[in-house]
Chain A
Amino acid sequence: MTATALPRPRRARRTLPGLTPTLGFTIFYLGLIVLIPLAGVFFRASGLGLDGIWKVISDERVLAALKLSFGAAAIAAVLNAVFGSIVAWVFVRYEFPGKRLLDAVIDLPFALPTAVAGIALTALYSESGWIGSVLAQAGIKVAYTPLGVIVAMTFIGLPFVVRTVEPVLKEVERDLEEAAATLGAHRLTTVLRVIAPAVFPSLVTGFALAFARAVGEYGSVIFIAGNFPMVSEIAPLLIIIKLEEFDYQGATAVAATMLVLSFLLLLAINLLQARARRKS
């Protein structure tokens, strides 16, 4: 019997083909759409040198704007995480008349031109508006204050939390709650120890999306904010102001700072989420 040597495969092949072209495309696409424009920002800003950038962002007005943008966005995202979860819970767990209609309303902040939202919110919350006039009697001013910024950011961020939590909550089987009940767990214990951990990773995703959107939000915020320097002026507006003053390098310095901060925060959130997800 003659032994015929089998041709040896040149290299081990992956069982799932197509890694090279798809990964290649992913990097190319990300580069074209995301990385190159962002690199441009850093390139422009680098003309100032590190000292120059530090000088721009350590300016009181810039610091106040950055603080407002990130602070208000964080508060808005927390509010959305809490109330968005409740909305998602209601949609998943209960049937009520007008549910479909309300379901569509949730997505409105996605679809509405942000300027329209801004004008509507301003009309409502100004001292002569429906809600604003009531709040004014209680001594609370919303329009043209940082509170107004938070209101606008909460408005535009709501769908992110609802839409990420909803499908996950749907998957939490009623069996789990019933099992917890037969084991003696009361309602609150069940929600905290059984349902919340199952939903937590998706809630973090929703929080991150709402936060990112709120940091970058411009249109709806500038109407209601009133844009008083040091008080209710957000960082994106400051960038526009610098651009209009032909201070391109100053504008890109603020932009680059926002970018780095946002990236670090999202990275941290992603890591937190990966940890939560590894368990289940």
Chain B
Amino acid sequence: MDIQIRGVQKHYGSFHALRGIDLDIASGELLALLGPSGSGKTTLLRAIAGLEPLDGGQVRFGDIDATALTVQQRQVGFVFQQYALFKHMTVFDNIAFGLTVRPKKQRPDTATINKRVRELLELVQLGGLEQRYPAQLSGGQKQRVALARALAIEPRVLLLDEPFGALDAKVRKDLRRWLRQLHRETGYTTIFVTHDQEEALELADRVVVMNRGVIEQVGTTDQVWDAPATPFVYDFLGTPNVLPARVERGALLLNGATATLATAGAEPEGPVNVYTRPNELRIADDGDAAALSGTVVEIQRTGLLLRLGVQLLSSGDTIEIELPNPDPAVQRWQLGDAIRVRPARYSLFPRKATTAEVETGFDPTRTVAEHRERSRN
């Protein structure tokens, strides 16, 4: 089912958690809400589920105005980070819960429930474990039970709140792949929240990058990676080098350097920041006029990559450059070596006069969950 979100607002006390969110989600899409903690991604997910009453705006499931429905009526499958399994019930009873709590008229008969639970157990690859209690399962198994329980009600949309957050790296990777496959098989519209960019890029069709209660960018994984719309997105996806520069008469001049980089010509005149990722920098020849000179101040080898810290002669800033690890016999960098680099790809963002952004009402020592908790009481 497709989902439309229009002008959604949410406050927790004086903390503005969602500042007018507009978003369209296509039927059958696998969408990631990506952002740091406090960005509003979990709040948005909970708003879609109806777990957070809204201060403004609307959520629509297809033709239905979901804002007018209670949590129970919305029929969403919600998977919690900490599983939230009913501990005193067996795996079977957990999965059957959503069917057995239906009013008598809509409740399937026992045989149908049995059949459905068994199908779901097969789907999440936990056949034979139906009589176990949650305490007897591993973390990954628990999360799969939680998913089966959410799927049992044939949800309009499947919502996952940091579904792999509590699992170790290996299990996380397996479950990711498995979820991707499950999504392909079942075709449920799925939205998941994560703060892990790798997880978002690997799993999702489209990624929504959020920051401070607003959407910074929506796009396919390629779009957000290749063309970050804002400095925040650039920063959040990877660790770019930021070089202060200015645009003069259509030419880009890095601060303190004489080298000129070509620009597309569309940039406004004035101070800008050049964003370039470590893997977008290249080693330049001596004859390259646009290259930046520097000194190698750090060498780090991580598997297939060689990472160099280069202190620029022009500004004294240290930038990071990432190279496919070359044959050590051919090229060997040593600390203190002179080096020339040039950005092969980069983006420009106008540099504002640095204003300290003051966030009213947001106490960084408190998590959003605590804000939520406090505003409830």
If A181-B71, A182-B51, A182-B76 touch, does A198 touch B87 (CB 8 Å cutoff)?
yes
Bound-complex Cα distance A160 to B40 (A): 42
Q: How far is the CB of B118 from chain A (nearest CB, A)?
A: 18
Report chain A residues within 8 Å CB of B77: 182
Among B75, B86, B150, point to the contact of A194 (Cβ < 8 A).
B86
If A185-B72, A280-B135 touch, does A179 touch B88 (CB 8 Å cutoff)?
no
Cβ contact within 8 Å between B78 and A178: yes
Cβ contact within 8 Å between B377 and A179: no
Known: A182-B50, A184-B101, A189-B101. 8 other contacts (CB 8 A): A179-B146, A180-B86, A182-B49, A182-B78, A184-B72, A184-B153, A185-B97, A280-B133
Cβ contact within 8 Å between B102 and A184: yes
Report chain B residues within 8 Å CB of A175: 80, 82, 84
7 residue pairs, one from A and one from B, having the closest CB atoms? A183-B98, A175-B84, A95-B377, A179-B84, A182-B78, A185-B101, A197-B88
Count of A-B contacts judged by CB separation below 8 Å: 71
Cβ contact within 8 Å between A183 and B101: yes
B149 interface residue per 8 A CB criterion: yes
Binding site for B on A (CB under 8 A): 94-95, 173, 175-176, 178-186, 189, 193-194, 197-198, 279-280
Q: How far is the CB of A99 from chain B (nearest CB, A)?
A: 10
Q: How far is the CB of A217 from chain B (nearest CB, A)?
A: 33
| Closest B residue by C-beta to A197 | B88
Report chain B residues within 8 Å CB of A95: 377
Bound-complex Cα distance A233 to B15 (A): 62
Bound-complex Cα distance A180 to B102 (A): 12
Bound-complex Cα distance A252 to B82 (A): 56
User: Chain B contact residues (Cβ within 8 angstroms of A): what range?
Assistant: 20 to 34
| Closest B residue by C-beta to A189 | B101
Among B49, B72, B78, B133, point to the contact of A279 (Cβ < 8 A).
B133
Specify which of A183, A184, A194 lies most central, judged by the most chain B CB atoms within 10 Å of its CB. A183
A-B contact pairs, 23 of them (CB 8 A): A173-B82, A175-B82, A178-B51, A178-B78, A178-B80, A178-B84, A179-B80, A179-B84, A179-B146, A180-B86, A182-B49, A182-B50, A182-B150, A183-B97, A183-B101, A183-B153, A184-B72, A185-B97, A185-B98, A185-B101, A197-B89, A279-B133, A280-B135
| Closest B residue by C-beta to A194 | B86
Bound-complex Cα distance A279 to B101 (A): 21
Report chain B residues within 8 Å CB of A182: 49-51, 71-72, 74, 76-78, 150
| Contact mask for chain B residues 53-80; partner A; CB cutoff 8 A; 1 contact, 0 none | 0000000000000000001101111101
Report chain A residues within 8 Å CB of B50: 182
Report chain A residues within 8 Å CB of B89: 197
If A178-B78, A182-B78, A183-B97 touch, does A198 touch B88 (CB 8 Å cutoff)?
yes
Cβ contact within 8 Å between B149 and A183: yes
Q: How far is the CB of A90 from chain B (nearest CB, A)?
A: 12
Cβ contact within 8 Å between B75 and A184: yes
Specify which of B76, B87, B149 lies most central, judged by the most chain A CB atoms within 10 Å of its CB. B87
Report chain B residues within 8 Å CB of A197: 86, 88-89
Cβ contact within 8 Å between B76 and A180: no
Cβ contact within 8 Å between B88 and A173: no
Q: How far is the CB of A273 from chain B (nearest CB, A)?
A: 14
| Closest B residue by C-beta to A179 | B84
Report chain A residues within 8 Å CB of B71: 178, 181-182
Among A173, A189, A193, point to the contact of B84 (Cβ < 8 A).
A173
Report chain B residues within 8 Å CB of A184: 72, 75, 98, 101-102, 153
